[in-house]
Amino acid sequence: MSKIVKVGTRDSLLALWQASQVKLELEKHKIKTEIIKIKSKGDSDLTKPLYEFGVSGIFTKTLDNALLNKKIDIAVHSLKDVPTKPARGVKIKCVLSRENPIDVLVLKDENINFNSGLKIATSSIRRKCQWLYKYPNHNIVPIRGNIDSRLSKLKKNNWDGAIFAYAGLKRLGINKVKLKELNWMIPCAAQGTIGIAGLESVKEFDEILERINCPKTYRLVGIERKFIGLLGGGCSKPISAHAQIRKNKIIFNTNVCSLDSKKSISDSTEFNMNEQDIANKSYFKNCKLGVKDIINLY
């Protein structure tokens, strides 16, 4: 392919790191690329928690428009930011191998007492609700911005900790912080995954994107995103899903919280590798456990 592929991305450090990884993967296959930086609305308003925007795809709409107007050929996303129903005409064409999707707490003091009324920073409704369900005596404070600015805000404020995705910290090489792994917190669908979107009608790049696709990641995040879609989830609802392969089985963990953090339903189900419609089966199982009652609170 002699054409230079225009790779669209947000202009944050993490987004540019992700776009650079896609560039490297494409260049392994002798594909020439150019990174096009595009600022999103979600990057412009750093005061409002994401769930208060009231719309899905706050970080992806500008890139979708660039694709539809053919200003770029492909768009690179943190797949967790992409709505389960992308913009009409846009499709997630492939994903790279997933980083560890776990959430972590960045601490000011390693000897923190979780029995006291801590102040924890996050603007994720999912993290907020899971946290307050486990620690109802804690206070959640909103925090926005890129990773560096959030770490800076944590230092400057009288907060005890802030919740981050481990993948973002690792990708930017941030290791001089005190971390506590939140193994009990179920991550959001597709956390830690780089997704590449393109126009559904344009097949020109499909063959090369297929070469850099990670089939294992594609399947697992597909299960997670379908489950979130079945429950009408997004950044404004505390719904979590994580599929992983363990001993040749697919383990699918899900959680749904009420917005007041007082109700929570978690489920962990083991499926055979060749089993189909895993998201549907988990959805109907959870409905029997009472998720419908929680969803009605939304």
Bridge partners, residue 62, by sequence = none
Identify whether 277 is a catalytic site residue: no
Torsion sign across C-alpha atoms 181, 47, 13, 80: positive
Using CA atoms, how far apart are residues 7 and 72, in angstroms rounded to an integer?
6
Using CA atoms, how far apart are residues 221 and 182, in angstroms rounded to an integer?
20
Residue 14 three-state SS: helix
Active-site position among 43, 64, 73, 81:
81
Query: DSSP readout, 102-163?
Result: -EEEEES-TT--TTS--EEE---HHHHHHHHHH-TTSEEE---S-HHHHHHHHHHSS-SEEE
Whether 185 contacts 131, CB under 8 Å = yes
Largest pairwise CA distance in the chain: 61
Instruction: Supply the residues annotated as catalytic.
Output: 81
